[in-house]
Amino acid sequence: MLDFDSTKPIYIQISEWLENEILNGQFEENDKVHSQYSLADMFNINPATAAKGLNLLHDDKVLYNRRGLGKFVAENAKQIILAKRKSETLKGLIQDVVIEAHQLKVTEEELIKMIQLSFSEEKGDE
């Protein structure tokens, strides 16, 4: 479930996993998510690392805290996650693609054509 060899820090992998669970509907709004201890047990990691992942989502307002009870899914968690992924993750990926294209001397038009091709392949699969 976790890639220990990945370049991505574990606590970020944890937060992304939780985000996916929320997007998939495994956790509804106002549901309690796993505690740092149960995450630690599930993923075989230190609970402090799991807590860091939870705190990351709390800071992003995806989760809210109820003292002594744990962390719960916020009301508009799904929207927050999608917006975050669009503005950060997708943006970051696009930046990397543009830099790579630049290195390979691929022009803007060529790159857009490649993206359009990928879109239609995706539609074809659906």
Partner 1 sequence: MVIETNTLTKYFNKVKAVNEISISIQPNTITGIVGRNGAGKTTFLKMIAGFLKQSSGDINVFSERPFNSLIVANNSIFVDDEMLFPDVLTLREILVEGNRFHKNWDMNLAHKMLDYFSFNPDAVHAQLSKGKKSTFNMLFGLSTRCALTIFDEPTTGMDAAVRKDFYRVLLKDYLAYPRTFLISSHHLDEMEHLLEDVLLIDKGKLLIHMPIDDLQEYAVGLSGSALIMECVLKDQDVLYRETINKNTIFAIVKRGADVENLKRMGIRIAPVSPSDLSIYMTKDFKGGIDDVLK
CB of 72 to partner 1, least distance (A): 22
- Residue 55 makes contact with partner 1 by CB under 8 A: no
Residues 6+ apart with CB under 8 A from 17: 1, 2
- Residue 41 makes contact with partner 1 by CB under 8 A: yes
Q: Which is nearer to partner 1, 23 or 97 (CB)?
A: 97
In the chain, DSSP finds a helix count (H) and a strand count (E) of 6, 2
In this chain, which of 20, 26, 46, 65 binds partner 1, going by CB under 8 A? 46
- Residue 96 makes contact with partner 1 by CB under 8 A: yes
Residues 6+ apart with CB under 8 A from 81: 19, 22, 23, 62
d(CA 22, CA 33): 9
Q: Which residue stretch of 6-14, 19-27, 57-65, 104-112 sits at the interface with partner 1 (rule: CB under 8 A)?
A: 6-14
Q: What are phi and psi of 70, to 5 degrees?
A: 120, -165
Q: Total residues contacting partner 1 (rule CB under 8 A)?
A: 21
Which DSSP letter does residue 56 get? H
97-116 positions binding partner 1, by CB under 8 A: 99, 102-103
Contact residues for partner 1 (CB under 8 A)?
A: 2, 4, 7, 9-11, 37, 40-41, 44-49, 52, 95-96, 99, 102-103
